[in-house]
Amino acid sequence: MQTVIITGGTGLVGTALTKVLLQKGYRVIILSRNTVPAGAGNGPAYAQWDIAAGKIDAAALAEADFIVHLAGAGVADKRWTAKRKEEIVKSRTESSALLANVLATLPNKVQAVISASGIGWYGGDEKQARPFSETDPADTAFLGETCRLWEAGMDPVIALGKRVVKLRIGVVLSKAGGAYTEFAKPIRWGIAGILGNGKQVISWIHIDDLCRLIIFSMEEEKMQGVYNAVSPQPATNKALTIEMARKIKGSFYIPLYVPHFVLRLMLGEMSVEILKSATVSVAKTEAAGFRFLYPSIRAAVEALEAKPGISRQGE
């Protein structure tokens, strides 16, 4: 049985990934900043790290065959004050530096590290001439710079001779939280809130496909370097919102455009990211052999709104 450490494994992606890994027969150790009591039965184990103090559970590290590095302060959780921006960056760069340091100094048999990054790496607007691919340079705005530093933080691990896969993750669609549940809130009241002019392209990924892609990146030894983690069919904000509204409310909803200035008042600088249009290519990921269960927004929304028990997760 192989063991996977998931940093930040208590979050949205980590919780779903833990479930799939356990179903597939992996042992999971969730690395958290907090003490989490292990539950009964065949659930995950927990270990602690203190990033500021440079401390990690050495016994947990010694057992790991893979590390999935998801930890980081939530990018969309709070308004982007200077302090919050620093926390968003440091939580990623300092945790990556700690991982690189312990992998270099403590006994371990880690074969590969799969690290999250984001499509915030890319810039983009509605006039984008071609989809972004992995070789495009980082945007100079805050998220682009954050992703650049985050990805660079994994380079010392590559220098150790470990296989590293960096996944530039798109907007994750999950019923358990994140963007999908935020979009769904007004819809459940009958209002389909279209952001800005609704023409901005969202490169998204269904949570089940993201978990499958993370595991594919672990298991497929030829996976190395940067890959976009987005579905092959990005959707405009309007198309996504209307698809959700149709599925959730049938014909009982009213489309409502939320203008730029309202979003700016509500969200501050983060509104720029919400209104950013980025079509991101997944050609390299598909060429590596990965196949999506939910390539279209219709398939993704159908699956997310399906009754429990008919999810295809883990297939």
Q: Which stretch binds ligand NAP (CB under 6 A): 31-39, 122-130, 187-195, 294-302?
A: 31-39
Residues 143-172 close enough to bind ligand NAP by CB under 6 A: 169, 171-172
Candidates 18, 91, 217, 236; binder of ligand NAP (CB under 6 A) is 91
CA angle 190, 194, 199 (to 5 degrees): 150
Phi, psi of 15 (to 5 degrees): -65, -45
Residue among 194 and 211 whose Cβ is closer to ligand NAP: 211
For the chain, the straight-line distance linking the first and the last C-alpha, in angstroms and rounded, comes to: 19
Angle, alpha carbons 136-140-143 (nearest 5°): 90
| Per-residue mark of binding to ligand NAP, 174-213 (x: CB under 6 A) | ----xx----------------------------------
Selected binder of ligand NAP within 19, 33, 84, 246 (CB under 6 A): 33
Give the residue, chosen from 5, 6, 116, 270, that forms a contact with ligand NAP under the rule CB under 6 A: 116
Q: Is 74 in the site for ligand NAP (CB under 6 A)?
A: yes
Q: Contact 275/196 with Cβ under 8 angstroms?
A: yes
* Binding of residue 13 to ligand NAP (CB under 6 A): yes
Separation of alpha carbons 262 and 315, rounded Å? 42
Instruction: Report how far Cα 266 is from the mean position of its chain's Cα atoms.
Output: 24
Given phi > 0 = left and psi -120 to 50 = alpha, else beta, which region is 269?
alpha
Which segment (7-15, 53-61, 193-201, 240-248) binds ligand NAP by CB under 6 A? 7-15
CA distance 142 to 272: 10
Two tokens, residue 70: 């998801």
Q: Which of 18, 32, 200, 285 binds ligand NAP (CB under 6 A)?
A: 32
The stretch near ligand NAP (CB under 6 A) out of 9-17, 20-28, 127-135, 136-144 is: 9-17
Tell me which residue of 106, 213, 87, 226 sits closest to 155, measured CA to CA: 226
Contacts of 118 by beta carbon, 8 Å cutoff, 6+ apart? 75, 143, 146, 147, 168, 169, 170
Pick one of 72, 124, 131, 196: the residue that binds ligand NAP (CB under 6 A).
72
Applying CB under 6 A, which residues contact ligand NAP?
8, 10-14, 32-34, 51, 70-75, 87, 91, 95, 116, 118, 169, 171-172, 178-179
